[in-house]
Structure 1
């Protein structure tokens, strides 16, 4: 499968560059994927952030080298990207449970984190509802951003909206959305990653509404260019299945733009949707 080959090419690039500076743009290029989406796709499939996978692989190889060579530990630390012996020792002890100097005694137990390989698994036991929307104009969204940890996103984002409801920010957004209503992407919007390239541990979550007037002084404006979108009901379920089930079989690429969570009013069905920017794959020669 083409998608599988591309993901494994990205892993090849990582493995070939563990003792060098790893360019996250080149990882995404190897996977033929946008920077914005690759780290999310990786963590969704592998179960850990991309940066954590790289850290574990480097510390695994460093442990092998300390045991099998007479090189100074500081030299090995710098080889695997650590600027000081102290930072290397802390990271090493966090993973292996012992200091680097201790493992030259052969009886010390260690942890080895193997290279990941993506393979085909049988999924799709239940269908995924979706539709394609072509939004032919820029989306001007007004609101504010919050930095959240990727690992806690599913817990933190609902908490942000609950707090927003209590402090009156949600009411202010709703009032603004009705000043000049549009026909698509209405109601409350959560934009996952204000910038195009999303980091692994944290990202900006922008809470806002479409609004064409001058924003209030305490708010900022976010512009998302016109794009083609795939839209899924049920945000949590869609996030879990997007990268592992829909993307590999869809015939579309993921565009290098933020995803949008759309939260509708009480009587709307579905209550919320996930909007994901996409591109049609170029035809093969």
Structure 2
């Protein structure tokens, strides 16, 4: 992944230069030479917040600076920073700053500032991350798919799992896999799935997907879920991929594989599969 930090830095600079315009995730990701799907995963793992949250917080910061000068009208500032109406702008502004846009124009108003990101090279890593590179043949999965927004997926996907396991479908699809299927923007599909057995009928509300043959980086995760899985995921995007010189990302999807239930939480086993190809 040569030029990793430079690519992320270019993407951040692009966002900063176009905060008053419509920002498209594919264009932003193009600055980092990855797909929009992967850029959003990488950005969130590295920064701890989503691309959408970063853009929104930066816009509201700049909007407050303009209003506090006392010269700009609330309506003009709202339109400048992408809000369709003064009401929607006022709600977002008040949630972020704790005061209304009109109050921000008064002297002495206490406002919040969200600084632009800057890439700094620091000495990190030095930790062990177990993985293996393996070739997998094409296989087919069957399961239930739901669409999610990248900005809220960390909260919504666990609810999807909880609802599924309590439903009748939970007895049909056990959930061997959790599969992220990349979309063209903020939206992507997530599938709770098992291996497809062609001699069985596909149950109602379920579908099949073909996962193509290819090379995968497989990362074992041992310990309680979801914390262990999230910790390994962060290491993959923030340490392993930036340091990887022999492979680059391939495909617009990745897979979580869940082992059978363990008697003790610390014995729980799962894996993260990332599709890759040689540079």
TM-score (norm 2): 0.83
Structure 2 contact 177–194 (Cα < 8 Å) conserved: yes
Q: Which runs of 5+ in 2 are unaligned?
A: 222-228
Distance 1:132 1:196, change over 3 A: farther
Alignment match, 1:37:
38
Structure 1 contact 41–243 (Cα < 8 Å) conserved: yes
Say if 2:210 is the partner of 1:223.
yes
Alignment match, 1:10:
11
Say if 2:137 is the partner of 1:150.
no
> Secondary structure of the equivalent of 2:129?
coil
Distance 1:204 1:196, change over 3 A: closer
Q: Which runs of 5+ in 1 are unaligned?
A: 175-186
Report the Cα offset of residue 167 of structure 1.
4.6
Structure 1 contact 191–207 (Cα < 8 Å) conserved: yes
Give the number of aligned pairs: 261
Say if 2:116 is the partner of 1:115.
yes
> What do the CA deviations read for 1:132-159 (whole angstroms, capped 9, x no partner)?
122343x321110245642326854763
| Structure-2 separation of matches of 1:120 and 1:154 | 33
Q: How does 1:97-176 map to 2 (within 5 A)?
A: 97-137=98-138, 139-147=139-147, 149-152=152-155, 155-156=158-159, 159=162, 164=165, 167=167, 169-173=169-173
> What do the CA deviations read for 1:86-136 (whole angstroms, capped 9, x no partner)?
111111111111111112212101001000112223322321111112234
> Secondary structure of the equivalent of 1:272?
strand
Structure 2 contact 218–271 (Cα < 8 Å) conserved: yes
| Structure-2 separation of matches of 1:248 and 1:279 | 15
Structure 1 contact 43–49 (Cα < 8 Å) conserved: yes
Q: Name which of 170, 195, 206 aligns with 1:210.
A: 195
Q: How does 1:76-91 map to 2 (within 5 A)?
A: 76-91=77-92
Alignment match, 2:238:
244
